Amino acid sequence: MAHLLIVEARFYDHLNDLLVEGAKAAIEAAGHTHETITVPGALEVPGAIALAAESEAYDAFVALGVVIRGETYHFEIVAGESARGIMALTMDGLCIGNGILTTENEAQALTRARPSEGDKGGGAAQAALAMLALRERFAK
């Protein structure tokens, strides 16, 4: 049984609730356990995962959050840098499912976040578990 950490960037509460719901359901359906922590925004997700990984208490991680395009360049920085940070951690051997949504508007985010539709939270949890299975396979 694996123990996963869900790291959520809690900026849009109603959207994050849907992502977390999907992630928890996928982890539990696979027979694993989880904890959840909250960080202020998507840029803090990779740092929180890196800090948590040092504890060696978690087998895999699920990164969740929502970044919606606004009127400034901030969207590109947050979307790109959070993804870059997560990718760097995966290249260092951490098993992470990236469920940080980057959308043009709230309607797109809702469609992707709802467990009954896009279920990107559940998909991110499944991706983390798939990477964990690969790591275990290659460790043999």
Domain ranges of the chain: 3-139
- Band (11; pLDDT cuts 50, 70, 90): confident
Q: Are 7 and 64 in contact (CB under 8 A)?
A: yes
pLDDT band (50, 70, 90) for residue 140: confident
CA 52 to chain CA mean position, Å: 14
Of 3, 14, 34, 74, catalytic: 74
Order the strands of the 60-68 sheet from edge to edge.
33-39, 3-9, 60-68, 96-103
Give the pLDDT band (50/70/90) at residue 85. very high
Neighbours of 109 (CB within 10 A): 23
Residue 42 among known ligand-binding residues: yes
Q: Is the pLDDT of residue 92 over 90?
A: yes
pLDDT at 71 over 90: no
Is 96 annotated in some ligand binding site? Answer: no
Q: Is 138 annotated as a binding residue?
A: no
Give the predicted TM-score (pTM) of the model: 0.96
The residue type found at 34 is H
34 has catalytic annotation: no
**What CATH fold (topology level) applies to the domain 3-139?**
Rossmann fold (3.40.50)
